[in-house]
């Protein structure tokens, strides 16, 4: 095993051990959005919230974004909020991607990765669903074609509660 493989394994084990687990209260945060407004997670209590951590260099993230936008548009009137959280230190790449793939859900910037660390993000994309009481209920790492059906089921389950 190479040095890099050992390092990646150690980081993965550390993140798994320290990351946020399902049924745990979602850590609060405030991040600046693409519109310049600050968005605070605690203000969404009472809604079902999806956090989607993404990066412009991530091909699965690019493929997933229009599908997430469809979910957002479909369920927002039922108390569903989606925050796309860009994890890059330079927001210019995110802004460029959003010109190419516009979305209607709020996009937030996490340039210092503090929120990503709070949520134990170890894969791109990582999608977390939070129930109306502010508890993490589902964590989805990565994206494969068809995962939007899994998201749809998870969203509907939490909206019905």
- The secondary element (H helix, E strand) that includes residue 124 is none
**Other C-beta atoms lying within 10 Å of the C-beta of residue 94:** 21
pLDDT digits (tens, 9 = 90+) for 42-69: 999 999 999 999 999 999 999 999 999 9
Q: What is the mean pLDDT of residues 113-142?
A: 96
DSSP 83-96: EEEE--S-HHHHHH
**Other C-beta atoms lying within 10 Å of the C-beta of residue 20:** 16
pTM of the model as a whole: 0.84
pLDDT digits (tens, 9 = 90+) for 64-108: 999 999 999 999 999 999 999 999 999 999 999 999 999 999 999
Query: Following CA atoms 42, 68, 145, 20 in sequence, which dihedral angle do they give, to the nearest 10 degrees?
Result: -10
Q: What is the CATH number of the domain that holds 40?
A: 3.40.30.10
Q: How many separate domains does the chain show? A: 1
Could you give the CA distance from residue 134 to residue 113 in angstroms, rounded to a whole number? 21
157 alpha carbon, distance to own chain's centre: 18
Given a contact cutoff of 8 angstroms between Cβ atoms, the answer to whether 156 and 130 are in contact is no
Helix axes 147-160, 59-75, angle to 10 degrees: 30
**Domain housing 137:** 3-160
């Amino acid at each position: 095993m190479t040095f890099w493989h050992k390092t990646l394994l150690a980081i993965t084990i550390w993140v798994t051990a320290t990351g946020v687990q399902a049924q745990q209260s979602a850590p609060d945060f405030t991040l600046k959005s693409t519109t310049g407004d600050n968005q605070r997670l605690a203000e969404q209590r009472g809604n079902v919230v999806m956090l989607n951590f993404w990066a412009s260099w991530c091909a699965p993230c690019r493929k997933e974004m229009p599908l997430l936008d469809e979910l957002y548009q479909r369920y927002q009137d039922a108390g569903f909020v989606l925050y796309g959280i860009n994890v890059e230190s330079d927001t210019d790449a995110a802004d460029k991607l959003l010109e190419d793939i516009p979305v209607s859900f709020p996009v937030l910037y996490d340039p210092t990765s503090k929120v990503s660390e709070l949520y134990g993000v170890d894969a791109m994309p990582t999608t977390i669903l939070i129930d109306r009481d502010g508890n993490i209920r589902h964590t989805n790492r990565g994206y494969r074609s068809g995962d939007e059906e899994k998201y749809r089921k998870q969203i509907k389950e939490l909206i019905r509660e």
